[in-house]
């Protein structure tokens, strides 16, 4: 597997292979734009914000209301399980709301305050809480799960959740062993057991449709992670979607845009 070759390279090379912020010169500007766009979405749409689904300070969900009987797009943010905040990514639901579905985001405790095992447990609680919120809001309770970067990993692990009908992993991490050998593990402190138990590339395939997207301008390791997981799931429903010219941050526009290729692919799963 291509991603395994990284383990034999010098530490600096291993670190650079997963350093998206350094690889994308405009990352700071894009993140600042995400913040502004997210504020605009909150001002334009009715929503229940920062609803607690657990005792942790970050165990909060946002719920944006859609038409009665519609499904709910649920987004999980990235940041290598140790950075970012759901509030910065509220903009990604703009397209879904315009397409007539409900939308939600969940936060979770970050490493090192929580282990990856704990984060996954929190996310499962969050998915269940969003479904309850959807039903209370007049939605169908059908969940279209999606996430970016670390959120793509969490999407793969949450695909078997009650009410989840399909998913979209955007630029996700599906094999954890390479990450364990980079600077990212200082906060994560991944154990060999967690690598085995929480790497989607080592787990039984969930037989629900999953679209796996990546940008053609992303780091080679990120592209390889998605391609490897798509191959691993080749007998299961879903697709591998290459977004031309997209980097690790700009690829989110393919979800936020009402005509975005990633959003269209996810919404198509609701009609399958």
Write the pLDDT tens digit of every residue in 26-47. 999 999 999 999 999 999 998 9
CATH at 230: 3.40.50.1820
When pLDDT is cut at 50, 70 and 90, the band that residue 10 belongs to is: confident
**Residue 1, pLDDT above cutoff 80:** no
21/7: higher pLDDT: 21
Write the pLDDT tens digit of every residue in 15-26. 999 999 999 999
Whole-structure pTM value? 0.95
Q: What's the confidence (pLDDT) of residue 272? A: 62
Report the number of distinct structural domains present in the chain.
Answer: 1
42: part of which helix (H) or strand (E)? Answer: helix 27-44
Task: Please give the Cα distance from 23 to 149 (Å, whole number).
Answer: 15
Structural domain including 166 reads 2-271
**Residue 94, pLDDT above cutoff 90:** yes
**Region 200-224 average pLDDT:** 96
What spatial distance separates the first Cα and last Cα of the chain, rounded to whole Å? Answer: 32
241: part of which helix (H) or strand (E)? Answer: strand 238-243
Contacts of 36 (CB under 8 A, 6+ apart): none
């Amino acid at each position: 597997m291509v991603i395994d070759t990284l383990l034999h390279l010098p530490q600096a090379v291993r670190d650079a292979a997963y350093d998206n912020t350094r690889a994308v010169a405009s990352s700071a500007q894009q993140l600042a734009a995400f913040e502004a766009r997210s504020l605009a979405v909150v001002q334009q749409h009715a929503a229940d914000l920062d609803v607690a689904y657990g005792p942790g300070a970050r165990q909060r969900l946002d719920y944006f209301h859609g038409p009665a009987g519609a499904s709910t797009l649920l987004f999980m943010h990235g940041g290598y399980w140790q950075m970012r905040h759901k509030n910065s990514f509220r903009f990604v639901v703009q397209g879904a709301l315009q397409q007539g579905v409900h939308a939600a985001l969940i936060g979770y405790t970050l490493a090192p305050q929580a282990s990856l095992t704990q984060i996954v447990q929190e996310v499962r609680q969050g998915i269940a809480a969003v479904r309850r919120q959807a039903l209370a809001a007049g939605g169908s309770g059908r969940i279209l799960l999606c996430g970016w970067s670390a959120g793509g990993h969490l999407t793969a692990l949450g695909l078997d959740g009650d009410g989840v009908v399909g998913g979209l992993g955007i630029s996700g991490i599906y094999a954890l062993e390479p990450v364990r050998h980079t600077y990212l593990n200082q906060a994560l402190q991944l154990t060999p057991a967690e690598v085995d138990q929480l790497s989607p590339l080592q787990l039984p395939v969930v037989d629900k449709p999953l679209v796996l997207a990546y940008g053609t301008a992303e780091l080679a390791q990120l592209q390889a992670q998605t391609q490897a997981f798509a191959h691993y799931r080749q007998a299961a429903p879903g697709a591998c979607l290459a977004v031309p010219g997209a980097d690790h941050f700009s690829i989110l526009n393919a979800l936020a845009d009402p005509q975005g290729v990633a959003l269209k692919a996810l919404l198509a799963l609701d009609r399958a």
